[in-house]
Each structure stands twice: as structure tokens, then as C-alpha cells.
Structure 1
Amino acid sequence: MESRVESSETLRNKCAACYRQFNRIEHLVEHMRTSYHSSHEPMCGICKKHCRSFESLREHLIGPLPKQECRNIFITRGCKICLAILESPYALRVHQDRCQLSGGNAGLLGRFANLGIRDNTEGGSTRGTQVVALACKMVGGGSDGSLDLCAKVCLTDEYDNIIFQSYVKPLLPVTNYRYETTGIRPEYLRDAMPLRQVQKKIQDFLCNGEPMWKIRPRGGKARILVGHGLDHDLDSLQFEYPQVMIRDTAKYPPLMKTSKLSNSLKYLTQAYLGYEIQTGIQDPYEDCVATMKLYMRMRSQVHKVEAYPLASDPQNRNNFAAWRQNELERMSPDQMLEISRSDYYCWCLDS
């Protein structure tokens, strides 16, 4: 009888999302208050455990110390790219043909485009484009060549079409062309488009006729901007863009390391798309294609539909308020999970 009571108490103090166990119910409440568990977190398809990132989920399934029951199923029916669990080994083989993407001729096409400026920012074919990817390649400035200067920029749509691509003439003298990785020579920048002109062209295209101060996340004309390390790229282009319209694969919690540091774009592409990039001379078009594919993969996830999915939504701000402590302690772990909301914007909400 005593063991049944202890077992029941342990179950009551066990998080319904990450399965952590607590000695006291108030400790579980505090955990739920700060963990922001939600249906938008990566989840094990076998035991339904919530993980903060796909890296955490990968460790749970096939890491150095995996959950053995989940690992045994995953190695026969699990996709190592998207970490989904399929119904049978045959279903897995069919799934993997679709799941493992290809960069195609991204690098080759990008280098052919070097022959001249590609500018479709005012073309009719891009008028309906709502999501664009941006990438820059940097050369070195300053006395030691360590100052990053944008020397080439590319903008693509969700179908990997080039909207705009050009060499960029930096405002400061170039002291290191970093040819081994950029493939950029001095003659490419001699008659290149000035930085200010590039900046205005990209900014006008992103804003799409909407004043910067008026841009809002939904219902406006401004475009969503996708990239990796976009703060650095936008800084090199010397303009700002509203954070609500930015989707950065370097800062998206499900794609970050378990230590909450950023993964490289090269790693993310290999791990979550199944192909290699940046193997020689690096082209910004190749980076645009990779970041857009990552964004589309994250956006296409099917999660539970909620009227107010973010913890910051006014309707959710009192869900775990201190004045509700007694009420929360009477809830079951499942009831607490039901009212818990995410602290980051899931890209599935863009669909």
C-alpha cells in the first residue's frame, strides 16, 4: 500500500512534457513557470517526451546515452534527418527519398550568375513573393584584414530563384579578398554596384512599399526575411529590418545546440537537409537556398492549433501567476501542460 502511495505521489510531481521528477508539487509548478513547454517543441515520436531543440531530441534517440527503448525503435523506423518515426522500415525508405534534399546545382548556378548583375526586384514574377532569403559574402578590410566588408549579396525566393545578386563595392578599402573561400578578385569589385545603391534596392524590395515604422507581422505587404546570422549581414549592408519579420536559422531555438549556442549553416544543412554545402569557394546563392529549405522544413511542421500560442500573448500572462499558486498545485501535470505556452515564435505559425 505504501509503495502505491509513493508511486502515485511521484507521478503527480512528474512533468508531463520533459518527464523530470520533483520531490514536491510546488517545485513542479516552478518548473512549468520557467520551462515554457508547448506543442511547438520537438517531441519524441515514441515516448512523446518534449525536447527544447532537435539536438536534444537527437541525443535522446541516438546520443551517447539514449533512452534505450526509443533507440531500439528509432534505428529500424526512424529518419535520421527529420527524426520522425515511421510505421515500418519500408515506409522509412519511401520517406527518406523525400526527406533527404539536394542542393542541386546551387553553387554552380550561383557562379554562372557571376557573369553580371541579376536584378528582378521590380519584375512581375516576384510581385507575389512573401518570403525571401538573404546571404552575403565578406572580404576583409582594416590594417589586418579582419574587418568584414560585404562584397557580394544574393536574394532568392522560396523556389530558389534569384531575385537580386550583385558584387558590392565597399565603402572602405579592401585589404584581404579571402579568395580561397570567396572566389572574389579585385577586378570584380572595380565597377561593382555601390553599397548605398545595393542597400536601398534590397530595403525597398523587402518593405514592398510599406514604411518601415508601419511594418507589422501579419496583414501587411512587407516580406519575411530568412537567413543565417542575419544581424551580421544586415550590419554589413548598413540597414535595419524589423525583428518580427526576420527568421534567422542561427537563432531559432529548435535548431540551436543543447548549450543554446548557434549551429553553423554547414552543419544544419548536413544534419537537417541531408546534403553538403560550403565545400570549396562559397557562394551566397548556395547559402540562400540552404536557409530557405531549412525555413520551409521548420514552417511545414504540423502542430496543435491554439488561439494564443505564445506565453507573451496577453491572454496567457496569468497562466502561471504567483497569485494562482494554490490553484496550480491542485492541477495535474497534464492540466499544467495544457495551459503552458511557448516563449518563442514557432515558424509553423507563418503557414
Structure 2
Amino acid sequence: MDSETHRNKCAACYRQYNKVEHLIEHMRVSYHSVHEPKCGVCQKQCRSYESLREHLIGPLPKVECARVFSIRGCNLCLKIFDSSSAVRSHRATCQFSGTMTGLISRMSRMNIQAGSCIDNGQMSGSCVVALVCKMVGGGSDGSLDLCARVCLVGEDENIIYHAYIKPQVPVTNYRYESTGIRPEHLRDAVPLKQVQRRIQDILCNGEPIWKIRSKGSKARILTGHGIDHDLKCLGVEYPSFLIRDIANYPPLMKTSKLSNSLKYLTQAYLGYDIQNGMQDPYEDCVAALRLYMRMRHPGHPRDYACGCGDGPMRNNYPAWRQRELERMTAEALLDLSGSDYYCWCLDAYN
């Protein structure tokens, strides 16, 4: 009985099944891979970091894992270390501090007026760009999102481009409490068409958009939170294979598969607070960039079996192999499994 139970236990998430056919079906739909967050104590693989957090420090954690984690675990990256002193040394590099100086103070140091445009696109050699837009409201009830401010930041956390944008329809709600935007900011703002062209130039990095390919391209990786909505409001098109959206990245989503806010993700995984009062687009850009860079270097082994979501998904458990699959061990079944999303750690290899 023990051997049967062990044989029908998933080697990744440790779920147990009465029949081996049920285990195989679980492997078909679970898409376990080496890129999933893993508990450093029991080696259980979790679908997201939120699942791993619940496993370690949630309301009903695994007792032994929680005990070890409380002594030797980092509550930001959720890794386990050899000793408590190693954890203390690690936290000095793992926990970020806030940006300290927001966009307005940076502009004042550069002798740039608050309503002016910053354009350092020609000087940036960054391969990754973070983009954040701030919306004002249009329409009769002010619920229509109109892009009124955009900020792009490079890997060095310096501003590449910032501009106030003149909306193409009348603004009925400036949402000042969160955006800090006033009518005078938009009076002499940059026309939307001009902003669109400039952002496209910065992102494509001198390469025609129709020539951009997933590998070997000069175009820049674009990250942000809710980036699809921002690009839609800007009216800018960009290849999806170069977009890294913090809001839709499976390891950073809730266990319910809904998006976490940028404010929560920054506090939980970077260790500082943002968006207290008026939202600073520079601060949001830096937070999104730091989250992307943290997810890009998680220390995963490279998954050659499935390409980790890079390309069309393949069924590694076809029905015609059912008898062969039933004779395999749980570990062998796991070796066939592959992720259903593109892990950002693969960006480091491209």
C-alpha cells in the first residue's frame, strides 16, 4: 500500500492519487517545471510565490517548513539559507530602499520645469525599459481612461523619457488625488502623436517594428504593471514577445490567478512602500523594473525539455503513450512536464 501511494504521488506538488491514471491526468494539466517556485525545506513546487508564501508563513503553513523558515528564511525572496547569520547578510542585498527622490525633485535638480518633457532616449544603452502611464478621466462620468502622463526608465533607473500628454478628448476628471495632474500641466503638453512616435523609437531602438524578432533583435524588452492597458491608451503597438507584464506573470499572481497590485508586489518582494498618496510615475517605473530584474535572476536551471513556454505548447503525455506512462515513476513523469508560460529567467540566455 505504501509503495502504491508513493507511486501515485506527484513529485512536484506532492498531491496523491488513488490511481496512476489520475496522476498522469494531473501532470497533463498542471504544467509543472523546474521554473516553479520551490520550498527550500521540503522541495515542494508551487504554482506562484503567493502559494509558496502560504506554504511557509500563511494561516495554515507546513509546520516543519514554517519552523525552519522562521530561523533561516528570507521573507522577500522566500529562500532558505544555511544559517541565521547568512540570512542577515543576504537581507542587506535583497531588500531595496525606496527611490528617495521622486520625479519632481529629479526634474528640479536638472532645472527642468514640472510641465516640461524629458528625453534622454539617445543616451540610453538600456536593453530593458519600464513604462508607466498616469490616466485622467474623460467622458460624462470621468470613467474613460485618457493617458496624460508617461514615464520610461532604463535599467540604470534613470529617466529615459517623460512627458505630459495632451488628451484628444476633453478631460472631465483630473483624478488629482492620485495623479497629481492639474489643468496647467496639460495646457502646453506634448501632442499624443508625437509621444507615440518617440516611445516607438525608444522601444524599437532604431529597428523597424516589422523586422523585430524574438531573438537577435535590437529592440528593447518592455516591462511595467498592466502594460497592455497603458499601451492601448497610448495607442502604441509593440510585439507581445518583448513585453514583460508584472500584473500577468503567473509566479507573481494570486492563488486565485488574479493580478496583485504593484503596491503590494513592491512591499512583499522588494521590501518598501510606494503609492502613498499621489502616485509618482518614476517610482512606479523603478518598482516594476526591480520586480522584473528579480524575476529574471531567480537561479533556475534552464529547462531544455519544453522550452519553458517558448513556442507552441506540446502534449508530453499523449493518450497513445498511456501504458508507457503508467509504468513510469513519478520523477520520470515530472521530467516530461513543462511550463505553460515563458519564464523570465530565459531572458538572461537570449
Matched, 1:305 2:305: no
Counterpart Cα distance in 1 of 2:315 and 2:278: 52
Counterpart Cα distance in 2 of 1:314 and 1:93: 40
- Tell me the secondary structure at the aligned position of residue 66 of structure 1: coil
Counterpart Cα distance in 2 of 1:103 and 1:229: 21
Deviations for 1:73-115, whole angstroms, at most 9, x for unmatched residues?
1111111111011111111111111111012224254564635
> Given that residues 174 and 181 in structure 2 are in contact (C-alpha distance below 8 angstroms), is that contact kept between their aligned partners in structure 1?
yes
CA apart distance, 1:212: 2.1
Amino acid at match of 2:95: Q
Counterpart Cα distance in 1 of 2:336 and 2:97: 40
* Change beyond 3 A, Cα 1:27–1:110: farther
Counterpart Cα distance in 1 of 2:293 and 2:269: 12
> Given that residues 130 and 286 in structure 2 are in contact (C-alpha distance below 8 angstroms), is that contact kept between their aligned partners in structure 1?
yes
Deviations for 1:28-67, whole angstroms, at most 9, x for unmatched residues?
0010111000010000000000000000000000111110
Which runs of structure 2 are paired with 1:245-260 in the superposition (5 Å)? 245-260=242-257
Matched, 1:79 2:70: no
CA apart distance, 1:117: 1.3
CA apart distance, 1:306: 3.0
Deviations for 1:110-169, whole angstroms, at most 9, x for unmatched residues?
564635211012x2x31x321100000111111111111111100010111100001110
Counterpart Cα distance in 1 of 2:239 and 2:271: 31
Gaps of 5+ in 1: 1-5
Counterpart Cα distance in 1 of 2:29 and 2:150: 40
- 288-297 or 214-223, larger mean C-alpha shift: 214-223
Counterpart Cα distance in 1 of 2:282 and 2:220: 19
Counterpart Cα distance in 1 of 2:100 and 2:115: 16
Matched, 1:28 2:32: no
Matched, 1:19 2:14: yes
Matched, 1:9 2:1: no
* Change beyond 3 A, Cα 1:314–1:281: closer
> Given that residues 106 and 289 in structure 1 are in contact (C-alpha distance below 8 angstroms), is that contact kept between their aligned partners in structure 2?
no
* Change beyond 3 A, Cα 1:110–1:286: farther
> Given that residues 310 and 343 in structure 1 are in contact (C-alpha distance below 8 angstroms), is that contact kept between their aligned partners in structure 2?
no
Which of 214, 229, 232 is residue 229 of structure 2 equivalent to? Answer: 232
Amino acid at match of 1:331: M
Matched, 1:278 2:275: yes
Tell me which residue corresponds to 2:63.
68
> Given that residues 107 and 282 in structure 1 are in contact (C-alpha distance below 8 angstroms), is that contact kept between their aligned partners in structure 2?
no
Which runs of structure 2 are paired with 1:286-305 in the superposition (5 Å)? 286-305=283-302
Tell me which residue corresponds to 2:171.
174
Matched, 1:120 2:117: no
CA apart distance, 1:303: 1.0
Counterpart Cα distance in 2 of 1:110 and 1:309: 45
**Structural RMSD (CA):** 1.6
Counterpart Cα distance in 2 of 1:313 and 1:99: 29
Gaps of 5+ in 2: none
CA apart distance, 1:319: 1.9
Deviations for 1:179-234, whole angstroms, at most 9, x for unmatched residues?
11111111110001001110110012111222323222110111100000011100
Counterpart Cα distance in 2 of 1:302 and 1:160: 23
Tell me which residue corresponds to 1:3.
none
Counterpart Cα distance in 1 of 2:320 and 2:48: 31
CA apart distance, 1:311: 5.9
Counterpart Cα distance in 2 of 1:111 and 1:183: 15
Counterpart Cα distance in 2 of 1:146 and 1:219: 41
> Given that residues 132 and 225 in structure 1 are in contact (C-alpha distance below 8 angstroms), is that contact kept between their aligned partners in structure 2?
yes
Which of 24, 36, 44 is residue 41 of structure 1 equivalent to? Answer: 36
- Tell me the secondary structure at the aligned position of residue 64 of structure 2: helix
Counterpart Cα distance in 2 of 1:266 and 1:312: 28
* Percent of pairs with identical residues: 65
* Change beyond 3 A, Cα 1:23–1:219: same
Counterpart Cα distance in 1 of 2:313 and 2:162: 43
Tell me which residue corresponds to 2:331.
334
Amino acid at match of 1:16: A
Tell me which residue corresponds to 1:92.
87
- 75-84 or 203-212, larger mean C-alpha shift: 203-212
Tell me which residue corresponds to 2:197.
200
CA apart distance, 1:281: 1.1
